[in-house]
Amino acid sequence: MALTSDQAVGMLRAAAEPTRLRILALLAREELAVLELSRVLGQSQPRVSRHLKLLAEAGLVERFPDGAWVFYRLSGAAPARALTDQTLALINPDDATLELDAERLAGVGEERAGQASAYFADNAERWDEMRVLHTAEAAVEAAILEAAGEGPFQRLVDLGSGTGRMLTLLGSRAKASIGLDLSRQMLNIARAQVAAAGLRACELRHGDILKTHLADGCADLVIVHQVLHYLADPAAAAAEAARLVTPGGRLLIVDFAPHDLEFLRAEHRHRRLGFSDSEIERWLSLAGLTGFQIRALPPAASAGLTVKIWGATRDAARVRLIA
């Protein structure tokens, strides 16, 4: 949909201010909370919030509350996104101000990654007990088995495989499997678990879900179980997971429905407090997946969390037609 001239002027005005341009450049890298933007920009939260309000009113950014935090991302609407992308593309990639912001953002990201990595290293031994704290694990696993289908699968890829629970749950249905995780402590435990379960063709790799180095369409079953809520860029991780799904194959994302257990951020390094169906569906359809199925699993106790299983497939017939 094209813009009216008033809308175009509103967007140009909003973008035509140094801090707001810097904010747009930062949000082009990843979705960010006000606190994080304020740290990178070196400006107070109220000041940054005022800039964000103007950008949101002009339709250049979207605001989404997540528990007590509010995140911002670039607008997904075509004209607004095109205006932002084209404006940023005109700027010299070596621009000193934006380069410094990118470095500061990388610093914030590294700090977060360091805290998450220490958390997983410290908790690897206890992870199997901790996983069940807020969920009805048996019901969730039964639903995952059902959502995956009987197979047999040529290759299962489990991204953020942790102690290997999804590999031992689903591995017997796959001829080969790969588990990938950023934590070497988690991988060590997974190796022992996978061996104890007698899964022979199961490879455990150290790697980042955002850059798996696995080939396009290498798996007919990809699972991302309780990983996205730790990530700075869950949309990019979902796109990378979808990229691995072969035509006719299936992706399962298992995570929490939106919730307000704010302590999970401070004590357990969660970044996002759950995901909405529409957010996950948008990511998966952008990545070319269809046939969405959603299952909701209520918590084991009243203070627990609802687990969601979002399933989608890469349509083999459609891929043939496009090709």
Ligand X SMILES: C[S@@+](CC[C@H](N)C(=O)[O-])C[C@H]1O[C@@H](n2cnc3c(N)ncnc32)[C@H](O)[C@@H]1O
Of the candidate spans 13-21, 182-190, 214-222, 308-316, the one that interacts with ligand X by CB under 6 A turns out to be 182-190
| CA of residue 173 relative to chain centroid, distance | 26
Cis peptide upstream of residue 152 (ω within 30 degrees of 0): yes
User: Locate tokens 């302590």: which residue?
Assistant: 263
Verify binding: residue 183, ligand X, rule CB under 6 A: yes
Q: Which of 148, 156, 186, 289 binds ligand X (CB under 6 A)?
A: 186
Which positions from 21 through 50 interact with ligand X, judged by CB under 6 A? none
Pairing relationship of beta strands 219-225 and 290-297 according to DSSP bridges: unpaired
The amino acid that residue 254 corresponds to is V
How near is the Cβ of 52 to ligand X at its closest, in Å? 26
Which residue's CB is nearer to ligand X, number 23 or number 140? 140
Which positions from 222 through 261 interact with ligand X, judged by CB under 6 A? 225-227, 230-231
Chain residue whose CB lies nearest ligand X: 162
Pairing relationship of beta strands 61-66 and 153-159 according to DSSP bridges: unpaired
Nearby residues of 197 by Cβ (< 8 Å), 6 or more positions away: 167, 168, 171
How big is the chain, counted in residues? 323
Q: How far apart are CA 112 and CA 107, in angstroms?
A: 9
Which residue's CB is nearer to ligand X, number 87 or number 226? 226
Which residue's CB is nearer to ligand X, number 209 or number 221? 209
Verify binding: residue 120, ligand X, rule CB under 6 A: yes
Q: Which of 160, 234, 274, 311 binds ligand X (CB under 6 A)?
A: 160
Please choose, from the candidates 164, 153, 280, the residue with its C-alpha nearest in 3D space to the C-alpha of residue 219: 153
- Which residues contact ligand X by CB under 6 A? 120, 131, 160-163, 165-166, 181-183, 186, 208-210, 225-227, 230-231
